[in-house]
Amino acid sequence: MRFSTQTLLLQLAVVALVALLSGAVHAWLTYDRLGREAENQALTLARTVASDPSVRAAVESISALPGTPPASELLAGPLMAVAEGARARTGALFVVITDEAGLRLAHPDAERLGEKVSTDPSEALSGREVTTRNTGTLGPSAGAKVPVFAPGSATVVGEVSVGYSTETIGQSLARDIDPIALTAAGALLVGILASFLLRRRLQRLTLGLEPEEISTLVHDQVAVLQGVDDGVIGVSADGRISVFNAAARRLLGGPDLAGKPWAEAPVPARLLALTRADAAEGDAVELVAGGRVLVASARKALHGREDLGWVVMLRDRTELQQLTRQLDAVGTMSTALRAQRHEFANQLHTIAGFMSMGQHQQARDYLAGLVATGPLKFPVDQAELLQDPYLQAFLGAKGVEADERGVTLRLGPETLVRGRVTEPQEVTTVLGNLIDNAVNAAVAGSAAERWVEVEILDEPGDDAGTGTVKGTLHIVVGDSGDGLPAAAATAEDAVFAEGFTTSERPVRAGAGQGLGLALARQLARRRGGDVRLLDPGSPGGPGAVFVATLPGTTSDSMRRDDNA
């Protein structure tokens, strides 16, 4: 039997039991109320009869006799007339008058006259009024007993006992039972209807799944969502974030957003745009968040025809882009080294030729020239201003790459780096993006001479007694291009927005275009630095100038040791 059916049957049983118990309690309370009303009515009638002066006088006179008068005399006496008159007027079951010994002086059944009453009269004969529910010679009743006092005295000379039949109370209850039954039936009907509605809602909320299936799904969801490296964001149909796994928190660099409105979530606008009604399902976009390049896609979640919302997937492309950039640099350097190997071989052949011809002086002059200019032609002039080998190799690779595109990469006159780079990945990411953009601008520019100028300066920091000083790297990159468009030049934030590019070539999905400046600025600001537009440039050149500040990316402990 399905869980929803079991729940429905249990609810119906509970509702029926509650309705039955409520009806029974209500009936009992009504019965008890009618009994108390009968007791109060009997007490009132008994007081009236017992306070009648003629009754008091008659009972006193009979009590003063040495015996009880015969039944025939009592039947014709005044007490019998008063008692039967009161009984007839009020519909009581009985009105009984006794003497001080409890012998009947008036009774509806003439054969019972002169006999002792069937119920204990001691409390009434002791001067106390009592209400009772018992069964006497005339059947079950609810009544009252009241003492009869002698005229002008506090002496009890008898009692008056009045009772109303409980069968009459039952008849009154029978008249009231219909509303009680209708109320219970109505409550039962409402309960049954509510149970069916609750069953349907339960099936809709659980998608018709059993508790065991839901438990299995929860365990599977936790295992899958927390075990994958991709970020997963679930947006329910009502616009709230229902799933936000640990990978999503790590990639977006923010707190857990589960339970918050998706439209107000602190995530990039391009990510929110994926779930708009007019968005194309399955399209992937690249964006920058938390200092990372992410590829995001969104798909509709459906169960049958029911719309469950959206599932947004996040994949990290930062390491892939860094690896691609490093591979490009290695490939460029390999090409440059192969060319320089041929150049070095030619130089050795030239020296060997001079020596075989006996032109020793010419060989010495040739070697002196090589020593002065360097044994190999380095692709970037004045590279000796960079004492960090990593920067030398990286700029050398970029120089060869720029040279292949007809652009000269040169170091500015203010360049001087005496420390060592301690964060090469972040430095090359920022520097590489700025140089790539500058080379592209120089190639697209209208200037006859195409160049890119880079100035790098390291600023030492305070070691604070640690022995290792973390310095700041300042980078300035300019080019010979035509500068930025007029609209972008007046709004610096637009230049660093995701998707901004001056390239006229169509953007390929996943190519990373339009993300370089945004990623560079995020990386710099995460370290407490920044990337800014210093000069937007002008048509015909020179082009735009960007400046980057990267704190804590160099170490000059070796320079301190040298100075010491």
Task: Please state, rounded to an integer, the average pLDDT across all residues of the chain.
Answer: 79
Apex CA 263: angle with CA 257 and CA 268, to 5°?
A: 75
Rounded to an integer, the average pLDDT of 233-250 is 84
Please enumerate in sequence order all residues whose Cβ is within 8 A of that of 444, keeping only pairs 6 or more positions apart, or say none: 481, 482, 502, 503, 504
Highest mean pLDDT among 23-27, 287-291, 512-516: 23-27
Kindly state the tokens that stand for 387: 């004492």
Please check the confidence at residue 425 and state whether its pLDDT lies above 70. yes
Please say whether the beta carbons of 148 and 97 come within 8 A.
yes
User: In whole angstroms, what is the distance from residue 457 CA to residue 385 CA?
Assistant: 10
**CB 560: neighbour CB atoms within 10 A?**
15
Give SS3 for 348. helix
When pLDDT is cut at 50, 70 and 90, the band that residue 120 belongs to is confident
Please provide the distance, in angstroms rounded to a whole number, between the alpha carbons at the two ends of the chain: 86
DSSP per-residue string spanning 374-393: -SS--SSTTGGGB--HHHHH
Rounded to the nearest 5°, which phi and psi values hold at 160?
-120, 125
Rounded to an integer, the average pLDDT of 242-256 is 81
User: In whole angstroms, what is the distance from residue 193 CA to residue 179 CA?
Assistant: 21
The secondary element (H helix, E strand) that includes residue 555 is: strand 545-555
The pLDDT assigned to 379 comes to 59
Please check the confidence at residue 507 and state whether its pLDDT lies above 50. no
User: In whole angstroms, what is the distance from residue 549 CA to residue 528 CA?
Assistant: 9
**CB 431: neighbour CB atoms within 10 A?**
23
Kindly state the tokens that stand for 144: 């009252």
Among 263, 229, 552, CA closest to 420: 552
When pLDDT is cut at 50, 70 and 90, the band that residue 509 belongs to is very low
Reported as a single tens digit per residue, the pLDDT across 479-498 is 998 888 776 656 667 777 76
User: In whole angstroms, what is the distance from residue 252 CA to residue 47 CA?
Assistant: 91
When pLDDT is cut at 50, 70 and 90, the band that residue 236 belongs to is confident
Among 520, 354, 321, 316, CA closest to 437: 520
User: Is pTM, for the whole model, over 0.95?
Assistant: no
Among 340, 481, 338, CA closest to 406: 481
Residue ranges of alpha helices (H) inside 228-317 are 246-252, 269-273
For the chain, what is the total number of helices (H) and then of strands (E)? Answer: 17, 16
Among 134, 82, 132, CA closest to 108: 82
Look at 473 and 558; give whichever has higher pLDDT: 473
The pLDDT assigned to 372 comes to 55
User: In whole angstroms, what is the distance from residue 185 CA to residue 177 CA?
Assistant: 12
User: In whole angstroms, what is the distance from residue 229 CA to residue 316 CA?
Assistant: 9
The DSSP code for 113 is T
Q: Which of 214-218, 229-233, 241-245, 488-492 has the lowest mean pLDDT?
A: 488-492
Rounded to an integer, the average pLDDT of 33-62 is 88
Reported as a single tens digit per residue, the pLDDT across 285-334 is 777 776 677 878 888 877 767 777 888 888 877 666 666 666 666 666 67
The pLDDT assigned to 376 comes to 44
The pLDDT assigned to 547 comes to 94
The pLDDT assigned to 564 comes to 42
Q: What percent of the chain has pLDDT over 70?
A: 78
